[in-house]
Structures are given as C-alpha cells and as structure tokens.
Amino acid sequence: MATGNTAESPLTQLTSPDEFFSSCPKFRILVLGNPESTKQELFSKVFGVELEKHLVAEAFEDSHDIEKELDLEGQNERLAIYTSPNFGSDDEAVYRRVCDFIASRSSESSELKDRIHCIWYCVASEEERPVSHLETRFFGGGLATVAPHVPVLLLYTKYDDFVSRVEMDWSHNAQQRGLSKVAVTHILKDLTTKRFEKTIKKRWDGVLLDERGRYKVQPVPRVCVASGTDPDSDDSSFERLAAATLDSLREWKDWHVKMAFASAQRNSATISTQFCADAATDYFTVDTGHARKMQGVDIRDIVPNFFAKAIRIFNMRDTTAVLNQPNLLERVLLAVFGADQRPLLDESLHRSSTEPSMLLNLSPHERGVLLTQALASIVMFLDKLADTQWPQSDAFHTLTSQTVERELRAVGAGHAKRELLETVEGSPIFASCPLKAAIADLIVKAVALADKISSPHGRGAAREIVVIDDSELQEISLSFVNDKGPDDMVLPCGLTILPLN
C-alpha cells in the first residue's frame, strides 16, 4: 500500500498521528479519595489499567506526593493519574497542598498538555460521616477560586455496598412476612433509592445546592459507582461515570482535551467511535452543500492515515502491536466490501486518482461515498474489537492475533457489512450537507446499525438512579409477576399490586 512519503506526496497535507495528539497527548485527572472510597476497580473499569490493591491504597495516604503520577506500568500511555486524600478528615495541610497543586496545574501560563483536565472527588456510599468543613469550603467556592475551569465530579463509590446494607436491614423480615422474592426485589430498588436520598445525597445537597435546588457555585455532576469487585455485578455505573466525565469537559474550549479523554478511557466503544467519526471529517470538505473528499489528497493516503489515528483513539491494550500488521488495513476493507467493489477498492488503495483507472470515472459524489464507506469500515472493525477487549467481568484483556482473526472472519461472513455500506450509500448528505458534522453523524449511524445487525452489545443509555420524592414506603407501587396469590400475601400498608397475566 502506498504511504506517500516522498517530498511531492500529498500526505504532507495530512496531520500525522503523532502530531494529531501533540496538543494533549495525555488526559490528566486528579482523584481525591481515601483507601476506603477509592478502589483499583475504579481505574480498571474506566481506563483499563490493572493496579495492585496496596499501591492504590498507598496513593491516598497522607504521605503520598501529589506531584507524582500513579505508576501505570505502561498500561495506558494516554493517561496520567494524580492522587491525594480527600478532605473528609478536615486536614488543612492536605487541603492547602491540593489547592496549590490544582492552581499550579491550571494556570493560563501552563501548556494544555500539562494541565489537570478533570477532578474526581470520591466518597464512600457506606460512610455515615457528615460533610466536613473543608469539603464545604472546597465545593462552596474554593475550587472555583483556584481553578474555575477545571470540572469536578462527585463520586459516591461502593454504592452496591450501600444497597447490600439496606437489603440486609429489610429483606429478611419482609420475606418472613410473606412477601415473595420478586416483590422484595422491586421494593428494595425503590427503598434503597429513597434511603440514599434521605441520607448521603441530602447531606451533599446542602453543600452544593441553594434553597431553590440550583448549584451555588458550579455544576457538580454526581455519579453512584459500584465497587466492581463482584464478577457478576452490573458495570453500568462505570459507563455512567465515563459518559459524565466526558460531558463535564464541555467547558474546555479545546477539542483535544475531549479527544484525550476519549482515547484514555477504555469503557465505552461508543465514545471512541464518536471521536473517530469526528476525526474522519478532516478528510472532507463541504462545498455548496455537498460533502466531498478533500481535494489534492488521494484515498490511498487518507485511509492509512485515518487507520493509524483510529487505532490510537481506541487505544486498546495491544502489547504485541497486532494492529500494526502491514496488511491488516487492507484485510479489514476487503472483509467489508463486496466482490463487485473490490477492483475499485484495490485501485483506490494502490493508485493515484490521476492515474488511468476506474477512479477517473468516479464523480466527486461517488468518491465521497467510497471514502466514507472505507472510513466507516475501519471504525466498525475497531468498535467490534473493543467490545471483545474492554472491561469484562473478570479482567481487562490484552489484544491477540486470534481475536483479530476471529473478528475479521465474523465481519466477512456477517450481514453487518451490507448494512454499513448501504447506510452510507443511501445517505443524502453527499448532495445536501450543511456542516461536516453530518459526516461524523453518518459514520456513527452506520456503525450503530451494523452493530445492531451483527451482535447486539446491550449498549444504550446507562441506567440512572431513580430519585423518588415520596417519603414513606407505603407510597411505593410496583408491577411484577408474583409467585404467590394475593390472598397468600401480607403487604405493607398501601402497597399496590398490579398482577401481569
């Protein structure tokens, strides 16, 4: 495949992968917590780094140097984590050290790549302690004073432990009174939410919100996060955390900060797909409402350039450089494109568009479609690979040649490729495109439809904690299939049963 490294090559017009990430090569995050509230699973489930439990615990002790990055042992080159105890102990020295660090890492004079881009403030959900004086100061204006543009998220960690404690307090007696296990499950879902609202969330509401329920200083997204230690547990809370962290970065005017997080996180293939699609728009122009391939650069140079960037955006743990195999890109495209399209694909990958070939007969519209299909094929393949590698119930997996071969066969034999190609070909944006963002949206749509056709991943909106304003258990109503008849049931006062036949 041509690489176009000569002085006259149009590749000189393309941003190299190294230069593409040069503005912000690492996402830098400060995590404030303690050994109880901050576990290694927090980093494993979101960033795909496996750390020893004792090393994570030591990172939140008073003696830890906040200026020293957490040693990730080379597991994620796109990430830098700084740690410190939180302010729950009301230690003024810790507070001052953290504020000084944040101020030094967020000044206008510091380069974007060296700044702190986000803060996670962790408190354990099972902690009964009140909000400390220094926490009130920090969230009441201290952070806004030293770093008004650095977003902070409040993480209620170990939420599943809080749920388990509520269950232990109530479910045993409930079943003794005649409630079925199904009924208990539904009631507990509401009961734990109400208990959390009345205790932990209420305490923090008093710090963050005014009497009208509005943030006093700045928005502070709050996420309940599971401990992640149970192999059979639901990991959707980590998906919520990844999505909330990305959303909090909207204050950053530089898109490269968001890109840094998208490539540092290893939780959501959807996030990586979106940012790959955004990067793909650099290869297009929108002229008089038409989406076209950028002029002066051949598809043979664009496609490998994008593939190299997309690999870095997905940032899978590829210790043996499986994704850098010389012929992998061509194999991916050949697996997606049909036999009738392969001669044209072969020419687009190996010949200049000015050489005598079928490419000369393509209209600008057709070249735009062909390029978009090729870029979408790359994203779809990496999206499928990410789903096989990213946080599983036991551990984060390293990419292997066997996994790549299996996914290539699945793409070639499945129906997803047809859905992808037809979605792009049938899009009206090549004849009516107001903004380049429409190209990114098309790629995301094509990958999502292909994903649904091939093997649904169960993706979608992460389940949120439902906030119930009612104050008493008897106001809960539920719908369930009961394994006992109504006459056999002993129910709390006011509970409504809606049997499903």
Q: Is the pLDDT of residue 487 over 50?
A: no
Residue 304: pLDDT above 70? yes
pLDDT of residue 284: 95
Minimal CA–CA distance to 194: which of 462, 491, 474, 481? 474
Per-residue pLDDT tens over the stretch 136-173:
999 999 998 998 889 999 999 998 888 877 777 776 66
pLDDT tens-place string over residues 242-281: 999 999 998 788 899 999 999 999 999 999 999 999 999 9
| Integer angstrom CA distances of residue 99 from 60, 135, 139, 221 | 16, 12, 12, 20
Backbone angles phi, psi at 305, to 5 degrees: -65, -45
3-class SS string, 479-491: EECCCCCHHHCCC
What letter does residue 429 receive in the DSSP assignment? G
What average pLDDT does the segment 444-456 reach?
88
Q: Which two tokens stand for residue 393?
A: 């119930």
209 DSSP assignment: B
Q: What is the mean pLDDT of the chain?
A: 84
* Inter-residue contact 36 to 127 (CB < 8 Å): yes
What pLDDT does residue 234 have? Answer: 67
58-62, 178-182, 196-200: range with lowest mean pLDDT = 178-182
pLDDT digits (tens, 9 = 90+) for 74-91: 999 999 999 999 999 999
Domain 26-262: CATH architecture, name and number where available? 3-Layer(aba) Sandwich (3.40)
Task: Tell me how far apart the alpha carbons of residues 212 and 174 are, in angstroms, rounded to a whole number.
Answer: 37
pLDDT value of position 481: 36
| pTM, rounded to two decimals | 0.84
d(CA 306, CA 276) in angstroms, rounded, equals: 9
Euclidean distance between CA atoms 89 and 112, whole angstroms: 32
Residue 184 pLDDT level (bands cut at 50, 70, 90): low
Does the pLDDT value for residue 501 go beyond 50? no
CB 204 within 8 A of CB 131: yes
Is the pLDDT at 178 greater than 80? The verdict is no
Q: Answer yes or no: is pLDDT of 221 > 50.
A: yes
Residue 486: band (very low, low, confident or very high) from pLDDT cuts 50, 70, 90: very low
Higher pLDDT, 360 or 255: 255
Q: Return d(Cα 184, Cα 372) in angstroms, integer.
A: 51
Backbone dihedral angles phi then psi of residue 221, each to the nearest 5 degrees: -60, 140
- Sequence spans of domains, the chain: 26-262, 268-454
> How does pLDDT run across 111-137, given as a tens digit for each residue?
999 999 999 999 998 777 899 999 999
The pLDDT of residue 254 is 84
pLDDT greater than 90 at residue 406: yes
